[in-house]
Amino acid sequence: MSSILAQLGSKVKTQLDTKLDASGGSVSGTLEVDGHIKLPVYTTSTIPTAGVARRMVYVSDEDCLAFDTGSSWKKVNFGSEL
């Protein structure tokens, strides 16, 4: 049984790899994550040039999230602590 599951897992991985690559991809529907989502971390001097719309990063020296609009980065401040 475990070899069947391993083969199935391998086929699923192959299919996912054709849909998602190192530069990203899309998922339709609802994505539920039971755990943590870790964002790339940059400083204001190391953040990449804008141009990939809907990309999100954490900016450590500003302690904020930033979203790439495709033409600029928009800073998101949440203000208060938990």
Instruction: Assign residue 45 the CATH number of its domain.
Output: 2.10.10
Within a domain: residue 20? no
Q: What is the mean pLDDT of residues 67-73?
A: 96
- Residue-wise pLDDT tens digits, 38-68: 999 999 999 999 999 999 999 999 999 999 9
Task: Report the predicted TM-score, pTM, of the whole model to 2 decimal places.
Answer: 0.61
Distance of alpha carbon 52 from alpha carbon 23, whole angstroms: 10
Q: What confidence score (pLDDT) does residue 79 get?
A: 73
In this structure, is residue 14 part of a structural domain?
no
Contacts of 69 (CB under 8 A, 6+ apart): 50, 53
**Quick check: is 38 in a domain?**
yes
Query: Would residue 61 count as lying in a domain?
Result: yes
State the residue range of the domain holding 35: 31-82
pLDDT of residue 22: 60
- State the Cα–Cα distance between residues 46 and 79, nearest whole angstrom: 23
Across the range 9-18, mean pLDDT stands at: 73
What confidence score (pLDDT) does residue 21 get? Answer: 62
